[in-house]
Protein backbone atom coordinates (compact mmCIF):
# COMPACT_ATOMS: atom_id res chain seq x y z
CA UNK A 1 0.00 0.00 0.00
CA UNK A 2 2.85 2.35 0.89
CA UNK A 3 4.51 1.64 -2.44
CA UNK A 4 1.27 2.45 -4.28
CA UNK A 5 0.99 5.79 -2.47
CA UNK A 6 4.65 6.60 -3.22
CA UNK A 7 4.29 5.77 -6.91
CA UNK A 8 1.08 7.78 -7.19
CA UNK A 9 2.65 10.78 -5.47
CA UNK A 10 5.75 10.74 -7.68
CA UNK A 11 3.72 10.40 -10.88
CA UNK A 12 1.43 13.25 -9.78
CA UNK A 13 4.40 15.50 -8.99
CA UNK A 14 6.01 14.66 -12.32
CA UNK A 15 2.73 15.39 -14.12
CA UNK A 16 2.28 18.71 -12.29
CA UNK A 17 5.84 19.80 -13.15
CA UNK A 18 5.52 19.22 -16.89
CA UNK A 19 1.93 20.51 -17.01
CA UNK A 20 2.98 23.87 -15.61
CA UNK A 21 5.86 24.08 -18.07
CA UNK A 22 3.58 23.21 -21.00
CA UNK A 23 1.02 25.80 -19.83
CA UNK A 24 3.70 28.51 -19.91
CA UNK A 25 4.40 27.78 -23.56
CA UNK A 26 0.67 27.44 -24.21
CA UNK A 27 0.26 31.08 -23.18
CA UNK A 28 2.99 32.03 -25.64
CA UNK A 29 1.26 30.01 -28.35
CA UNK A 30 -2.02 31.76 -27.57
CA UNK A 31 -0.55 35.28 -27.50
CA UNK A 32 1.51 34.85 -30.68
CA UNK A 33 -0.84 33.26 -33.29
CA UNK A 34 1.90 32.84 -35.90
CA UNK A 35 1.47 29.39 -37.53
CA UNK A 36 5.19 28.50 -37.89
CA UNK A 37 5.83 29.60 -34.30
CA UNK A 38 2.78 27.71 -33.04
CA UNK A 39 3.93 24.53 -34.77
CA UNK A 40 7.39 24.91 -33.24
CA UNK A 41 5.86 25.36 -29.77
CA UNK A 42 3.71 22.27 -30.30
CA UNK A 43 6.79 20.21 -31.19
CA UNK A 44 8.54 21.52 -28.09
CA UNK A 45 5.55 20.61 -25.91
CA UNK A 46 5.49 17.14 -27.47
CA UNK A 47 9.10 16.87 -26.32
CA UNK A 48 7.96 17.76 -22.81
CA UNK A 49 5.39 14.95 -23.02
CA UNK A 50 8.15 12.54 -24.04
CA UNK A 51 10.23 13.69 -21.05
CA UNK A 52 7.19 13.20 -18.78
CA UNK A 53 6.72 9.63 -20.06
CA UNK A 54 10.44 8.85 -19.77
CA UNK A 55 10.63 10.11 -16.18
CA UNK A 56 7.48 8.17 -15.25
CA UNK A 57 9.11 5.01 -16.61
CA UNK A 58 12.30 5.63 -14.63
CA UNK A 59 10.31 6.33 -11.45
CA UNK A 60 8.45 3.05 -11.83
CA UNK A 61 11.69 1.15 -12.33
CA UNK A 62 13.33 2.79 -9.30
CA UNK A 63 10.43 2.41 -6.86
CA UNK A 64 8.81 -0.84 -8.03
CA UNK A 65 9.98 -4.29 -9.01
CA UNK A 66 8.17 -4.11 -12.34
CA UNK A 67 8.89 -6.76 -14.95
CA UNK A 68 7.70 -5.94 -18.46
CA UNK A 69 6.52 -8.70 -20.79
CA UNK A 70 5.91 -7.06 -24.17
CA UNK A 71 4.90 -8.93 -27.30
CA UNK A 72 4.71 -7.41 -30.77
CA UNK A 73 5.16 -3.88 -32.05
CA UNK A 74 8.47 -4.45 -33.80
CA UNK A 75 7.28 -2.95 -37.09
CA UNK A 76 6.08 0.38 -35.66
CA UNK A 77 7.50 3.69 -36.90
CA UNK A 78 7.73 7.10 -35.20
CA UNK A 79 6.94 8.72 -38.55
CA UNK A 80 3.63 6.89 -39.01
CA UNK A 81 -0.02 7.62 -38.26
CA UNK A 82 -1.75 5.19 -35.89
CA UNK A 83 -5.00 4.52 -34.10
CA UNK A 84 -4.20 2.75 -30.82
CA UNK A 85 -7.03 0.90 -29.09
CA UNK A 86 -6.69 -0.71 -25.67
CA UNK A 87 -8.57 -2.10 -22.71
CA UNK A 88 -8.76 0.06 -19.57
CA UNK A 89 -7.93 -1.31 -16.12
CA UNK A 90 -6.85 1.74 -14.11
CA UNK A 91 -5.29 5.20 -14.32
CA UNK A 92 -1.89 3.49 -14.63
CA UNK A 93 -2.84 2.34 -18.15
CA UNK A 94 -1.98 5.80 -19.48
CA UNK A 95 1.42 5.70 -17.78
CA UNK A 96 2.04 2.15 -19.07
CA UNK A 97 1.03 2.94 -22.67
CA UNK A 98 3.21 6.06 -22.76
CA UNK A 99 6.15 4.22 -21.13
CA UNK A 100 6.05 1.35 -23.64
CA UNK A 101 5.35 3.31 -26.83
CA UNK A 102 7.15 6.63 -26.27
CA UNK A 103 10.09 5.64 -28.51
CA UNK A 104 8.14 3.52 -31.00
CA UNK A 105 5.33 5.72 -32.30
CA UNK A 106 4.48 9.45 -32.49
CA UNK A 107 3.47 10.98 -29.17
CA UNK A 108 0.00 9.73 -28.28
CA UNK A 109 -3.03 12.03 -28.32
CA UNK A 110 -6.47 11.52 -26.81
CA UNK A 111 -9.81 12.77 -28.08
CA UNK A 112 -11.18 15.02 -25.34
CA UNK A 113 -14.61 16.44 -24.66
CA UNK A 114 -14.96 20.10 -25.62
CA UNK A 115 -15.79 20.99 -21.99
CA UNK A 116 -12.29 19.95 -20.84
CA UNK A 117 -10.81 22.81 -22.85
CA UNK A 118 -12.02 25.18 -20.13
CA UNK A 119 -10.60 23.22 -17.17
CA UNK A 120 -7.77 25.31 -15.61
CA UNK A 121 -4.27 24.15 -16.56
CA UNK A 122 -5.47 20.81 -17.97
CA UNK A 123 -7.35 22.35 -20.90
CA UNK A 124 -4.54 24.71 -21.81
CA UNK A 125 -1.87 22.02 -21.55
CA UNK A 126 -3.87 19.66 -23.79
CA UNK A 127 -4.50 22.45 -26.30
CA UNK A 128 -0.76 23.25 -26.38
CA UNK A 129 0.11 19.71 -27.50
CA UNK A 130 -2.73 19.70 -30.08
CA UNK A 131 -4.99 17.20 -28.34
CA UNK A 132 -8.13 17.06 -30.51
CA UNK A 133 -11.27 18.36 -28.78
CA UNK A 134 -14.58 16.92 -29.88
CA UNK A 135 -18.06 18.34 -29.36
CA UNK A 136 -20.77 15.70 -29.14
CA UNK A 137 -24.49 16.37 -28.88
CA UNK A 138 -26.86 14.12 -26.98
CA UNK A 139 -29.66 12.30 -28.74
CA UNK A 140 -32.19 14.44 -26.91
CA UNK A 141 -30.49 17.64 -28.06
CA UNK A 142 -30.40 16.46 -31.69
CA UNK A 143 -34.10 15.63 -31.59
CA UNK A 144 -34.78 19.26 -30.63
CA UNK A 145 -32.13 20.67 -32.98
CA UNK A 146 -31.95 18.40 -36.06
CA UNK A 147 -29.96 21.07 -37.92
CA UNK A 148 -27.00 20.21 -35.68
CA UNK A 149 -26.71 16.66 -37.02
CA UNK A 150 -23.24 16.11 -38.44
CA UNK A 151 -21.81 19.32 -36.99
CA UNK A 152 -20.10 17.43 -34.16
CA UNK A 153 -18.19 15.31 -36.69
CA UNK A 154 -17.32 18.44 -38.67
CA UNK A 155 -15.89 20.00 -35.49
CA UNK A 156 -13.83 16.87 -34.82
CA UNK A 157 -12.49 16.84 -38.39
CA UNK A 158 -11.49 20.49 -38.08
CA UNK A 159 -9.69 19.70 -34.84
CA UNK A 160 -7.78 16.87 -36.58
CA UNK A 161 -6.85 18.90 -39.66
CA UNK A 162 -3.53 19.88 -38.09
CA UNK A 163 -2.45 16.22 -38.07
CA UNK A 164 -2.35 15.93 -41.86
CA UNK A 165 1.31 16.88 -41.97
CA UNK A 166 2.37 15.73 -38.50
CA UNK A 167 2.73 12.01 -37.61
CA UNK A 168 0.19 11.26 -34.90
CA UNK A 169 -1.08 8.47 -32.67
CA UNK A 170 -4.68 8.69 -31.45
CA UNK A 171 -5.49 6.58 -28.38
CA UNK A 172 -8.94 5.17 -27.70
CA UNK A 173 -9.87 3.12 -24.64
CA UNK A 174 -12.70 1.26 -26.32
CA UNK A 175 -14.51 0.30 -23.10
CA UNK A 176 -15.08 3.99 -22.41
CA UNK A 177 -14.32 3.61 -18.70
CA UNK A 178 -12.15 1.58 -16.35
CA UNK A 179 -13.00 -2.08 -15.86
CA UNK A 180 -14.37 -3.29 -12.53
CA UNK A 181 -16.24 -6.52 -11.77
CA UNK A 182 -19.22 -4.41 -10.67
CA UNK A 183 -19.35 -2.58 -14.01
CA UNK A 184 -18.90 -5.84 -15.87
CA UNK A 185 -21.91 -7.32 -14.10
CA UNK A 186 -24.05 -4.18 -14.29
CA UNK A 187 -23.54 -3.74 -18.04
CA UNK A 188 -23.96 -7.48 -18.69
CA UNK A 189 -20.76 -7.61 -20.67
CA UNK A 190 -20.37 -10.85 -22.64
CA UNK A 191 -16.67 -10.93 -21.68
CA UNK A 192 -15.12 -12.26 -18.46
CA UNK A 193 -12.44 -9.60 -18.06
CA UNK A 194 -13.62 -6.76 -20.31
CA UNK A 195 -16.50 -4.36 -20.55
CA UNK A 196 -18.47 -4.31 -23.78
CA UNK A 197 -16.66 -2.01 -26.26
CA UNK A 198 -18.22 1.31 -27.20
CA UNK A 199 -18.00 1.88 -30.94
CA UNK A 200 -18.85 5.58 -30.91
CA UNK A 201 -15.33 6.79 -30.09
CA UNK A 202 -13.71 4.68 -32.81
CA UNK A 203 -16.39 5.72 -35.31
CA UNK A 204 -15.69 9.40 -34.63
CA UNK A 205 -11.95 8.86 -34.91
CA UNK A 206 -12.18 6.96 -38.19
CA UNK A 207 -14.73 9.42 -39.53
CA UNK A 208 -12.46 12.36 -38.75
CA UNK A 209 -9.10 11.02 -39.95
CA UNK A 210 -9.45 7.36 -40.89
CA UNK A 211 -7.82 7.80 -44.29
CA UNK A 212 -4.64 9.07 -42.60
CA UNK A 213 -3.94 6.02 -40.45
CA UNK A 214 -1.24 3.61 -41.57
CA UNK A 215 -2.35 0.94 -39.11
CA UNK A 216 -4.46 0.16 -36.05
CA UNK A 217 -2.48 -0.90 -32.97
CA UNK A 218 -4.48 -3.33 -30.86
CA UNK A 219 -3.17 -3.35 -27.27
CA UNK A 220 -4.08 -5.69 -24.42
CA UNK A 221 -2.83 -4.67 -20.96
CA UNK A 222 -2.72 -7.35 -18.24
CA UNK A 223 -1.30 -6.42 -14.84
CA UNK A 224 -0.66 -9.43 -12.64
CA UNK A 225 0.13 -9.33 -8.92
CA UNK A 226 2.87 -11.96 -9.13
CA UNK A 227 3.66 -12.39 -12.82
CA UNK A 228 5.18 -9.56 -14.90
CA UNK A 229 3.17 -6.72 -16.38
CA UNK A 230 2.12 -8.17 -19.71
CA UNK A 231 1.41 -6.03 -22.76
CA UNK A 232 0.54 -7.55 -26.10
CA UNK A 233 0.32 -5.47 -29.26
CA UNK A 234 -0.48 -6.16 -32.86
CA UNK A 235 -0.83 -3.76 -35.75
CA UNK A 236 -2.98 -4.06 -38.83
CA UNK A 237 -2.54 -1.91 -41.88
CA UNK A 238 -5.27 0.61 -42.64
| Residue 72 burial (C-beta neighbours within 10 Å; 0-12, 13-18, 19+) | middle
Largest pairwise CA distance in the chain: 55
pLDDT for res 237: 65
Helix 35-63 / helix 2-31 crossing angle, nearest 10 deg: 170
Q: Which residues of the chain have pLDDT under 50?
A: 226-227
Given phi > 0 = left and psi -120 to 50 = alpha, else beta, which region is 130?
left
Q: Report which DSSP code applies to 159.
A: H
Q: In whole angstroms, what separates CA 25 from the centre of its chain? A: 21
Contacts (Cβ under 8 Å, ≥6 apart) of 6: 63
pLDDT for res 72: 84
pLDDT for res 229: 58
Do residues 29 and 41 lie in contact, with contact meaning Cβ atoms separated by under 8 Å? yes
- The per-residue pLDDT for range 88-145, each reduced to its tens digit, is 888 778 888 888 899 999 988 887 777 778 887 778 888 888 887 777 666 777 677 7
pLDDT for res 122: 78
Amino acid sequence: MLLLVLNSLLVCLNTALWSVLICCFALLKLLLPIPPLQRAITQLCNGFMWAWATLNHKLLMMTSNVEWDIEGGEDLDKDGWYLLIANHLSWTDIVVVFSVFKDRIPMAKFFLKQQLLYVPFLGMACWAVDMPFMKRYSRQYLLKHPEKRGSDLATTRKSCARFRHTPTTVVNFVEGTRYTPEKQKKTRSPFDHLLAPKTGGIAYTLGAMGEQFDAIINVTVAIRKIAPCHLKTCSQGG
